[in-house]
A and B are shown apart, each in its own frame.
Chain A
Amino acid sequence: MRHLDEYRDPALLRALERELAALRPAPVNLMEVCGTHTMAAARFGLRQALPEGVELLSGPGCPVCVTPTREVDRFLAAGAAPGTILATFGDMLRVPGSRSNLERERARGADVRVLYSAADAVALARSRPERQVIFFAVGFETTAPTVAMTLLEADAGGVGNFSILCAHRIVPPALKALVLAGEVNVGGFILPGHVSTIIGSRPYEFLAREHRMPCVIAGFEPTDLLRAVLMLLRQRAEQRPQVEIEYSRVVKPGGNERAQAVMERVFEVCDAEWRGLGMIAGSGLRLREEFRRFDAASRFGLLAPDTQDPPECRCGEVLRGVVRPTDCTLFGNACTPEHPVGPCMVSTEGTCAAYYKYRPSPDG
């Protein structure tokens, strides 16, 4: 973190903006598929700094937001059993289930703990052997390896009162589904920096090879994002779609092989439901047979009948990049961070929350 200023250097930023303008790009929609990018772009006012006609759409990059209501309902159902401790990342606290959310259930007496990692949940389970601790395992390839590592440790330590509700998702199959659906006209992807730290650049190569889609893996600073846009526009101008790494100070083409191995050891790929995108083949992770006893859903038979998404909420379309948050009639009216209707307004990485929290100053 010693060098943050160099990525926010005004002179460098001006130079990048001049380069962008000099390209005189044709109108194009670029999509960032990472909630942290969505947040950073909004926070730095990136959209307003791009050349006319270059639009930035937000994709399904917020793990909390893509978690379907059904999973939230199942987690809430788990809390009904006496003696259960529900352990979750803070982001999930206010995500609406069909009829309630974790924050409300906590106020009604459910034992809901906000933790910062799965390891904290295992520590909690060890300290309360008479209780069952269920951890809501949400997140992409960034989070899954740490959960896998924690499970291996819990397994080795014989921690019997710990389990996870596994709602992990993996990113590349969702991008494939987006491209195949052809619903939005995307001319290039800004690929996630954190996820790619783990998986590297290779799992995205089909996008360039088979779908001629320009792709750039980007960091999170203003210069990273401007440079990533520049690289995408150059790929387009030169008609050479490929997966480039802008965030090369962190991301390597092969990713983090140790993390991949741990993930592979504990999880296997499965079909999974995404909010807004529906079932996507090979886009989820589930526990392998030998770790299945850590699976809360099967251990406690967690069901979620009668799941209902919030009516009128357009989070699904927002996650596909079909509409912008501001196109939703609820946005900023019935749906605000204070009173979120859908998950995209709740999560700190949510597209609606980013648009709301960091909305441009109208006459700026």
Chain B
Amino acid sequence: MNDETILLSHGAGGERMARLIEEVFVAAFDNPTLRELGDSAVAPIEAGRLAFTTDAFVITPIFFPGGDIGHLSVCGTVNDLAAAGARPLHLSAAFIIEEGLPLADLKRVVASMKAAADEARASVIAGDTKVVPHGAADKMFITTSGVGVVPEGVDISPARARVGDAVLINGFIGDHGLAVLCAREGIELETPLRSDSAPLAGLVARVIEAAPETHCLRDPTRGGVAAALNEIAERSGACIELEETALPVREAARGACEILGLDPLHVANEGKMLVIVPEAQADAALAAMRRGRYGEGAARIGQVVEGPAGRVQLRTVLGTRRIVDRPVGEPMPRIC
């Protein structure tokens, strides 16, 4: 395949499209189910409850320090499955590609997807491709869906946070959102930040094994830790208190937030998992996270306390308490 860029005819259903599918997608994702190229992928699933999720990925730029749209599109769906306590099994991927995209870029994105899926022990077994005219999309959009199985006995839900539970996270917050913002706007930091984009199925499996009573899991993506915890507080009718001094924020991320006027709690992450677990199993869960990949910086950042239902609050460095809200709109750098 020597064509250097994606053309409209790559999406037109003809010979070109067949070759694109064969030589890019099937070649990369390589598995027997996908190779069937049926109208539906048919694959076995094991016993348990089915978890099913879908997510669309739109990001500028499509390549950024620490990841790309492909890696993100698999990690996002894998992590949504993991947050339900499910073991990810099968994924689908739909691509909307702007004509003129270099083929090399598409291959690079697909390779990242394959790497992330392999790491999560999931396979991409179905897909679709559309090519749209120049200007009708921004380089490429990817939608992934995924199914997984929730093993017997695992009961994880954002409605299960209880007074006394510990709130844990597997590492530094804010890196992804800041890395992408800086890449997009050409902001140069003294210490560059990299996206934390990572598939967390393995980490979650370790946590559930070590702390089978785990109540809630949530990946704090758009809206950051603040939005994710507000959702848990609302769904559980609980009050969550964070310790400002315990929040793991890299010095470079904190500096960038100060300069840009952003709150690290509102910045997106793509390789983080919030874990809410009964106090008695908190240390085991922390140890399980730290034992493997993506958990080195795990920390206890707060707890579920007696208080008004649906509230997230923060004990500040001054020892005072303030409300932590969901962010409104896109994070916008300040001007003064």
Contact = CB atoms under 8 A, between A and B. Distances in A.
Interface of A: 1-2, 4, 8, 10, 13, 17, 34-36, 39, 42-46, 48-49, 61-64, 89-91, 93-94, 114, 116, 138-140, 142-143, 192, 194-195, 220, 222, 226, 336-338, 347-349, 356-364
Interface of B: 185, 187, 190, 245, 251-252, 254-255, 258-259, 261, 263, 307-308, 311, 313, 315-323, 325, 328-330, 332-336
Nearest to B324: A358
B335 A91 contact: yes
Given A1-B255, A2-B251, A10-B245, A360 B322 contact: yes
A35 B258 contact: no
A170 B139 CA distance: 43
Contacts of A360: 320-323
Contacts of B185: 116
Instruction: State the 6 A-B residue pairs at the shortest beta-carbon distance, nearest first.
Output: A364-B321, A45-B320, A1-B255, A90-B332, A361-B321, A337-B328
A90 B321 contact: no
B316 A44 contact: yes
30 contacts: A1-B190, A1-B254, A8-B317, A10-B319, A13-B319, A36-B334, A36-B336, A43-B263, A46-B318, A49-B319, A63-B335, A63-B336, A89-B335, A91-B332, A91-B334, A91-B335, A93-B332, A116-B187, A116-B333, A192-B336, A194-B336, A222-B318, A347-B334, A348-B334, A349-B261, A360-B323, A361-B311, A361-B323, A363-B307, A364-B321
B330 A90 contact: yes
Contact of A35 (B317, B320, B336): B336
B322 A4 contact: no
A49 B187 CA distance: 35
Given A17-B318, A194-B336, 15 more contacts: A1-B251, A13-B317, A35-B336, A36-B261, A43-B322, A64-B335, A91-B334, A93-B332, A139-B335, A142-B335, A142-B336, A143-B336, A348-B334, A360-B322, A364-B322
A45 B316 contact: yes
Contacts of A336: 328
Nearest to A362: B308
A1 B320 contact: no
Contacts of B335: 63-64, 89, 91, 138-139, 142-143, 349
B225 to A, nearest CB: 15
Contacts of A44: 316-318, 320
Contacts of B252: 1
Contacts of A220: 258
Nearest to B255: A1
Nearest to A103: B329
A45 B317 CA distance: 9
A320 B286 CA distance: 50
A287 B15 CA distance: 61
Contacts of B311: 361
A131 to B, nearest CB: 16
A338 to B, nearest CB: 5
B98 to A, nearest CB: 19
A13 B318 contact: yes
B333 A357 contact: no
A90 B333 contact: yes
Contacts of A46: 318, 320
A361 B240 CA distance: 11
B113 to A, nearest CB: 30
B318 A34 contact: no
Contacts of A89: 332-333, 335
Contact of B318 (A1, A45, A116): A45
A363 B252 CA distance: 34
